[in-house]
Amino acid sequence: FLTDTSSFLVGRPWLRQIRVKINESCNVPSPLWRMMTDCDKPYSLWNTDVSSYDVGWTPQNVTFDEASWKNVSDFQVPWMYQYASLSAAVPDSGEHGTYYGGGYIVELSDSSDADIDIIDELQEMNWIDDNTRAVFIEFIVYNANANLFAIMTLLAE
């Protein structure tokens, strides 16, 4: 149960990251070359990164279908793009963009201490970097008094 004693968490919370493609930066105008050498494109559906990577965003030349997910270790999953199902096709809007389903997903645990360890490990491996445009924290709550489910989505851009 949650602190209100009538709602409880259904399943586990998860993090979902939306990224732009690596090495697709915009052009720096020539008067600004001395001040900056690189800039990053804003998020759009057309430059969404849907590639799968090795740990630390190292490119790999492997595509994964549903059958090959059984052979992926838990350590590798945060670096693998997961497409949204058709039921999750409604986009989420934020201050800087409209984000479509899918992304790089990390399932959290039932323990806040273990979750902190997971997040610390992801931070050490630069899971969030210059190509990250949004990170969602998502979870489902059921309220027994109202007999309602609620999908909670928190967005950081």
Exposure pattern of 72-110 as b/e (b: 16+ CB <10 Å)?
eeeeeebbbbbeeeeeeeeebeeeebebbbbbbbbebee
What pLDDT shows up at residue 30?
77
> Please, are residues 97 and 133 in contact by the beta-carbon 8 Å criterion?
yes
The domain spans of the chain are 7-156
d(CA 43, CA 84): 17
Which of helix, strand or coil describes residue 37? coil
**Among candidates 114, 107, 112, which has minimal Cα distance to 140?**
107
Q: Does residue 38 or residue 31 have the better pLDDT?
A: 31
What pLDDT shows up at residue 88?
62
Percent above pLDDT 70 for the chain? 84
d(CA 102, CA 84): 4
What pLDDT shows up at residue 132?
93
Q: Which two tokens stand for residue 73?
A: 């270790």
E-strand stretches of the chain: 7-19, 53-54, 58-59, 81-82, 92-93, 98-99, 103-107, 132-143, 148-156
Q: pLDDT tens digit string along 119-132?
A: 999 999 999 998 99
Torsion of CA 74, 79, 81, 84, to 10 degrees: 60
The residue-averaged pLDDT of 137-151 equals 92
What pLDDT shows up at residue 134?
96
Q: Which amino acid is residue 115, in one-letter code?
A: D
d(CA 51, CA 63): 8
Residue 133 has pLDDT above 70, yes or no: yes
